[in-house]
Each structure stands twice: as structure tokens, then as C-alpha cells.
Amino acid sequence: MIVNTDIYEDAQFQSPTPIGMQVQIPDGVHDIELSWDRHKAYMRIIINGQTWWFKEYLGKAILIGADNAKGRLHLRAGARIEGETLIMYRPLDAFPHELVKGEKRETTHNRLCYRRSDQKWRLRDERMPWNHPDALKIVEDYVGDMNAEWMMEDTVAHIYHNGFIIIDENNVAHLYDSDLV
């Protein structure tokens, strides 16, 4: 994959400072808020008012929706922190996200990120040329089965979905995990 050095005006860069020790995330499945912490310069999750920070993310979760005004993703998953890595897993009894009709974007390296300047969500195919007309889609919301990663070497606030996506008639991006379809 070719990494493009062009960045958006609101890019957030991760702090090189170690996060330090954190308490363990309680066992079980949680409602989780995921966002970029602009003050600490780390990605974070919030569960029941308690915050954990991370520099790398791996795993699967149910993506309930996005908060456009605040730039937050709302997830349902189990979670644990190992060092500076967040690992999430779907509830075992969760049903796969229902297939919808719309514009299908095939399985690729889809970047999910928030554009703070206009409070919109971006869906960018990182394997397409930067200026390709279909590489970037601005969407109203994300929902579905997130199969995501964010490697520690990527110091910009990015989350990638590895699966296909269907954008419905309301401009909502439905995420699908190929392992579940």
C-alpha cells in the first residue's frame, strides 16, 4: 500500500509520550464511546464515565452509530487494553448486521475518520489513488459490524475497517465483516 503524505486540515497527530499504566477494563460487553482525545493526543474509549487511552486498535465491535456534533463513535463490544493496544471483540450472541441496498464499496482498507471542520464523517479507500473521484465519500453516519485496526506506526488519528461497506439512500455507511456474512 502507498501511503499518501497529503493530510486534511484537521489532522490530529498522536503523542509520542507513553500512555502509562491504566486500570483494567471490566470484563463483559459494554456500550463504548470511541473518539480522539484532542488534549492528550491519544485515541480513547469511555465506558460508564471512565476513560482508557490507546495508540493501537485491533478487533471487532458492533458500530451502533456516530455522533456528528461531537465526533464520537458509539460501539457495543467487550474490550481490553494490552500495553498501549485496545483489543475489542463482538458479543457472542450478536446477530450480523442486516444487508441493505445501496452503493457497495468492496472490501478494502477503508479509513473511518471525522472531519471536525464540517462535522461530517469520511469514508476513504486508502488503496485508491488520492485524487480518484471514488476514493473519498462523506457520509452522515456509520452503523454495522466493524472489523477494525489502527496500527501504532500510524501516528494520525485513523481507524480502518477491513470489510465491505454499503452506503444507503440516506448516506449512511453500513459496515460488514466478511467473517459474518
Measured distance CA(131)–CA(153) in Å, rounded: 24
Give the pTM.
Answer: 0.89
C-alpha–C-alpha distance, residues 105 and 121, integer Å: 16
pLDDT of 34 reads 96
How much is the average pLDDT of 106-116?
A: 83
Helix (H) or strand (E) holding 86: strand 85-89
pLDDT for residue 107: 86
pLDDT tens-digit series, residues 123-164: 988 889 989 999 999 999 999 999 988 887 777 777 889 899
User: Please, what is the average pLDDT of the chain?
Assistant: 89
pLDDT (average), residues 74-97: 96
State the Cα angle at 40 between 86 and 91, rounded to 5°. 25
pLDDT digits (tens, 9 = 90+) for 37-75: 988 989 999 999 999 999 999 999 999 999 988 889 999
Model pLDDT, residue 4: 44
Mean pLDDT of 19-42: 94
pLDDT > 50? residue 8: no
C-alpha–C-alpha distance, residues 59 and 45, integer Å: 14
18 near 54, Cβ under 8 Å? no
Q: Letter for the amino acid at 21?
A: M
DSSP 34-63: EEEETTTTEEEEEETTEEEEESEEEEEEEE
Kindly tell me if the per-residue pLDDT of 7 is higher than 50.
no
